[in-house]
A and B are shown apart, each in its own frame.
Chain A
Amino acid sequence: MSARPAAHPARRTVFYVLLTAFALIYIGPFAIQLATSFKTDPDATSHSLSLIPHPPTVAAWKRIFGFTSDTSVDFPLWLLNSVIVSTAVTLARVFVDSLAGYALARLRFPGRRAVFSLVLATMAVPGVVLLIPRFLVIKELGIYNTYAAMIFPIAMDAMGIFLMRQFFLQLPLSIEEAARIDGAGIWRTYWYVAMPMAKAGVLTLTILSFQGSWNEFAAFLVAGDSPHLYTLTKGLALFQGGLGTGNQYPLTLGAALLTTIPVAIVFFVFQRRFVGAQLSAGVKG
């Protein structure tokens, strides 16, 4: 639109003002969140817009990392649970989805079309519709209030299978054929030949799975009610709910920041890949 800068200096200024205003709106809440986590409780509410804590304090962070005797909120445990669950889910998804994706892309077996249609059909089921059904199965399997109940229901996803299938389809077939002619079996061809070539796809799926399981909330909500199994998202949500009027904003916002950081790191390290991952996830339909 404003692609002719030299001709319209005034328009150019408007353009940058607009962009900067948008950027402020998008970054502002994070800046306020960071500043608030170093404030005292009264300072946080009476000077909510100020970016300078007065007086600055690390009290909230001490409590988050467990350096106080107050154990009513167990952030280190929540962090540990988040790490355990999202690591397990990510590993499982990458393995299960790539196996199925490879079979659907490369192996010819009776019923392949039917399996693929089934995968596509399950992608159309809205996630929130699954809350009660999953609770039912978790109860019936007798795994309510276990890690298994948090991991298995989201340990495979139709979208991941679909993504991996697309990645395998794009690989040149000749190398896999050569491996097969040299006597490599299906498993060896998949694991030693196809998987290394599909590195980009594996990385994409890893990023999406980690982000998805780290940020997951609703699925954990119906998987149990034991505080020993709270993840960061579930712990934060229920802690906040329990506060009612809630004046411990430095603590809440600090812990929320802690929840954001791991995904932020993955985001900044793999930014290009991340963007690609989001786009391929969007084009799933």
Chain B
Amino acid sequence: MSLTSQAIPPAVVVSARRPRRSHIRGREGVGGWLFVAPALAGLTLFVILPIGLALYISFTKWSGTTSPFGSGAKWVGIDNYKALLTGGGLAQQDFARSVENNFYFVLLVVPIQTLLALVLAVLVNDKFLKGRGFFRTAFYFPSVTSSVAITLVFIFMFRGDGPINRVLSFFGVKGPNWFANSNGLIHNIVGLFGVHSPPGWAKHVVFTRSIWDWISGPSMAMCAIIVLVIWTTSGTFMLMFLAALQNISEEIDEATAIDGANAWQRFWRVTVPMLRPTLLLVLTLGLISTWQVFDQIFLTGNNPTTTTPAFLSYATSFENFNFGQGAAIAFLLFALITVFSSLQRFLLRDKDAEQ
């Protein structure tokens, strides 16, 4: 972002005016390396080296109990990747399922949390609002808490006889036992119109699953996790929109008001276009983090309809001791996240700025 454009430090400018003696520069050479050494050692040891190691493991069969070097891990070439992407075996079925689950998760969480964050930001940005600080704190607080702690609260909230279903029963709706319910949202909705089995075209099998299965929609269990995640993260994104809204000068707003635009037109024609950079940031951050959802899945676990690639990678490695396959899933996820976030950046690029 704009911050990185300061890559040339002021020091360069200053020292051109007043050159320092070379031995001080020489000390800076050594000192600079000494200063970055701990960080560099840490990043190398716990980020860069591990990635290389895991890439190697993804081409082997390794159970995680012995050293991966020497005879511990057996080289199998691209077999792990092949098993995940072709062949129709269990590995591919599970992987396809996890991608589908995560896809519905992203599809619902990202737009809803972005819209909700924007609405909340506009509401608490109101100059005349009483108790502004209170509302901001209330909306933001869930974002700072531990995902484990919050997920436990929501497991209770979404119990069969939990608070959510009691509230729903006031409106005459009988809620399911959310986290134990694997019915797809779309299947449920078309079920209301009497469609309970796949029409002919939906019986085709694509990538190990029938079209009917692919379009099931998120399961009720996944819907509960979707609500949880939207509730937790919308506060952070609200803050980002709020900071951007406060930067939009009031004069622009007032000038357009004098021009006869009403509040609604001003919002869509003036404010939203000016929020574009923030919108891109919120969407990108949302997209990257939703493809990584893990803690919530781990805690609500043991439901095939909520398994995500991140969790599948963990479970394959640490529960089924197939680290090669697990590492391969992690790298496919890495590739997926990279593709989606660059695609999104491309689609939302500022066309005016390019001219």
Contacts and interface: CB of A to CB of B under 8 A. Distances in A.
A137 B38 contact: no
A242 B139 CA distance: 32
Given A103-B33, A118-B40, A134-B50, 18 more contacts: A1-B126, A4-B263, A15-B123, A15-B126, A19-B129, A48-B161, A95-B38, A99-B38, A107-B31, A109-B31, A120-B4, A126-B334, A136-B50, A180-B24, A233-B148, A252-B152, A256-B146, A264-B144
Given A133-B54, A274-B144, A3 B263 contact: yes
Interface in B43-75: 43, 45-51, 53-54, 57, 64, 67-68
A136 B55 CA distance: 11
A146 interface: no
Given A15-B123, A122-B48, A218-B294, A26 B313 contact: no
Contact of A240 (B120, B145, B299): B299
B37 to A, nearest CB: 9
B142 interface: yes
A109 B9 CA distance: 13
A112 interface: yes
Interface in B269-292: 281, 284-285, 288, 291-292
13 contacts: A45-B159, A100-B39, A106-B9, A109-B29, A135-B318, A137-B46, A137-B50, A156-B39, A158-B43, A186-B28, A217-B298, A256-B146, A278-B239
Nearest 9 interchain pairs by C-beta: A109-B32, A133-B50, A103-B35, A100-B39, A107-B32, A156-B42, A256-B149, A133-B54, A186-B31
Contact of B146 (A19, A48, A252, A260): A260
B50 A107 contact: no
Contacts of B318: 135, 221-222
A197 B166 CA distance: 54
A75 interface: no
A185 interface: yes
Contact of B317 (A126, A132, A241): A132
Contact of B264 (A1, A221, A264): A1
Interface residues of A, number: 110
A255 to B, nearest CB: 8
Contacts of B155: 240, 246
Q: Sort chain B's interface into a size bin.
A: 35 or more
A46 interface: yes
A122 B337 CA distance: 15
Interface string B309-340: 01001100110000100110011011001100
A259 B32 contact: no
Nearest to B336: A126
B214 interface: no
Interface of B: 1, 3-4, 6-7, 9-11, 14, 24-25, 27-33, 35-36, 38-40, 42-43, 45-51, 53-54, 57, 64, 67-68, 120, 122-124, 126-129, 134-135, 137-150, 152-157, 159, 161-163, 166-167, 231, 235-236, 239-240, 243, 263-264, 267, 281, 284-285, 288, 291-292, 294-295, 298-299, 301, 310, 313-314, 317-318, 323, 326-327, 330-331, 333-334, 337-338
A128 B231 contact: no
B35 A102 contact: yes
B284 to A, nearest CB: 7
